[in-house]
Amino acid sequence: MAGYILRRLLSAIPVLLGITVIVFVIMALIPGDPATAILGSFATPENVEKLNRDLGLDKPLVAQYFIWLGNMLQGDFGQSFALNRPVIDEVLERFGATLILAGTAFVLCSLFGVIAGVVSAARQYGFADKVITFVVLLGISIPSFFLGMMMILTFAVSLRWFPVSGMWPIYGARDLAALIDHLTMPALALAVVATGVIARLSRSAMLEVLRQDFIRTARAKGVPEGRVVWRHALRAAMVSIIPVLGIQAGFVLSGAVYIEIVFQWPGVGRMLVDAILKRDILLVQGGVVLVAACYVMFNIAVDVAQSLLDPRIKT
């Protein structure tokens, strides 16, 4: 097992390098001169030239890439000019908030999605199946930012169950109760779309498995139907559900950008959008690379979980 994990980690290296190349190439496409962008159009040519030298932008592209890569490997992602602080500090601080939001949403959508999919499959064409199918359709069709806004109107403004926005109360203790109070709505809004997708795929994975011969064997043994569905079938269906969970984690992370804006959540998504609007390129670069790297690592964890679940996978 340890060997398998090590091999998966090694195989991630080219992927991570590829990500840096893609980000670098996209950023190199930026028209105009970053130094001018930073200093503004009234900067003196001498200042522009000096900044270009400081940023290493007078060197050829390939050299620039390796300097950038080398700096990143040493933990230096550059300086955000808009915030005037190191990119890495800003990103790590913001990423914590995003992880709390996206992580909660991911747990919620995995749980609800799989349960809804299993119930839907076990009761195919029944009442529960129809209700779930409809709710799932609604869930995958509603823009998460619109859903978030409607939740604010309903549960924060009208019913006053939850605070309107933010991660912490402005006054008062920053304890777990306060966090949960602020987290509930954005996490639910973020989970809805992924729940729908996971429920759909779980349903079809379960339908596929329930037709297999070993399900008939379980029934022939006299295994109660609940156990047939939740143990025999679900265990086998998880083999195809887990990779979907890995993909959905990326969608949850993506959706977090909108939810962070709607709920004023101090996460990395909001930071990126602000950075783009302010053309704070180094912050965008650093943020994208770090978040993408985390996502790659997460997918390795998914693969490992998969190999633990399926003894037929050679580790």
Partner 1 sequence: MRAFLTLLARNRLALWGGVVLAGVVLLALITPLLPLAEPDVTDTANRFKAPFSEGALLGTDHLGRDLLSRLLWGTRLSLAVGFAAAMIAATLGAAIGIIAGFYGGRVDNVIMRGVDMLMAFPYILLALAIVAALGPGLLNALIAVAAVNVPFFARNIRGVTVSIAHKEFVDAARLAGMSNARIILFEILPNVLPVIVIAMSTTIGWMILETAGLSFLGLGSQPPQADLGSMLGEARAALITNPHTSIVSGAMILVIVMCINLLGDGVRDALDPRLRSGALSRPVPATAVSREDVPAAKGEALLDVQVLQTQFHVKDRVYRAVGGVDLTVEPGQCLGIIGESGSGKSVTALSVMGLVASPPGVITGGAVRYKGDDLIGAPYEVLRSLRGDRVAYVFQDPLATLHPLYTVGDQLIEAVRVHHRVARAEARARAIELLTSVRIPNAQSRVDSYPHELSGGMRQRVGIAMALANDPEIIIADEPTTALDVTVQAQILSLLDDLRRDRGLAIIFITHDFGVVAQLCDRVAVMYAGRIVEEGPTEAILTSPAHPYTARLMACVPELGQGRRRLEAIAGLPPAVDRLPAGCAFAERCVKAREACRASEIALAGTGARAVRCIDPDVPLAAETVA
Residues in 136-195 at the binding interface with partner 1, rule: CB under 8 A: 137-138, 140-143, 145-146, 149-150, 152-153, 157, 164
Smallest gap from Cβ 73 to partner 1, in A, equals 19
Smallest gap from Cβ 174 to partner 1, in A, equals 25
Q: Which of 258, 263, 267, 286 binds partner 1 (CB under 8 A)?
A: 258
Output 114 or 218, the one with its CB closest to partner 1.
218
Residue 7 sits in the site that holds partner 1 (CB under 8 A): no
**CB of 147 within 8 A of CB of 191?**
no
Output 37 or 179, the one with its CB closest to partner 1.
37
Burial degree of 178 (CB within 10 A; 0-12, 13-18, 19+): middle
Interatomic CA distance for residues 94 and 192, integer angstroms: 23
**CB of 58 within 8 A of CB of 65?**
no
Smallest gap from Cβ 175 to partner 1, in A, equals 27
Tokens of residue 63, six digits = 């050299």
Closest to 38 measured CA to CA, from 274, 276, 279, 273: 279
The continuous run of DSSP H or E covering 210 comes out as helix 176-210
Interatomic CA distance for residues 50 and 148, integer angstroms: 46
CA distances from 214 to 229, 239, 264 (A): 12, 15, 50
Stretch that binds partner 1, among 2-10, 40-48, 58-66, 117-125 (CB under 8 A): 117-125
Smallest gap from Cβ 233 to partner 1, in A, equals 9
- Applying the rule CB under 8 A, the residues between 212 and 241 that interact with partner 1 are 212-225, 227-228, 232, 235-236, 239
Tokens of residue 293, six digits = 């790297």
Q: Which of 42, 60, 62, 312 binds partner 1 (CB under 8 A)?
A: 312
Q: Which of 210, 241, 244, 245 binds partner 1 (CB under 8 A)?
A: 210
**CB of 63 within 8 A of CB of 72?**
no
Output 114 or 206, the one with its CB closest to partner 1.
206
Residue 22 sits in the site that holds partner 1 (CB under 8 A): yes
Q: Is the dihedral of CA 61, 66, 67, 72 positive or negative?
A: positive
Q: Which of 4, 8, 19, 243 binds partner 1 (CB under 8 A)?
A: 19
Stretch that binds partner 1, among 29-37, 52-60, 68-76, 111-119 (CB under 8 A): 29-37
Smallest gap from Cβ 45 to partner 1, in A, equals 24
User: 43 in the Ramachandran plot: left (φ > 0), alpha (ψ -120 to 50) or beta?
Assistant: beta
Interatomic CA distance for residues 169 and 136, integer angstroms: 33
Smallest gap from Cβ 167 to partner 1, in A, equals 19
Output 108 or 292, the one with its CB closest to partner 1.
292
Smallest gap from Cβ 280 to partner 1, in A, equals 9
| Alpha-carbon 193 to chain mean position | 13
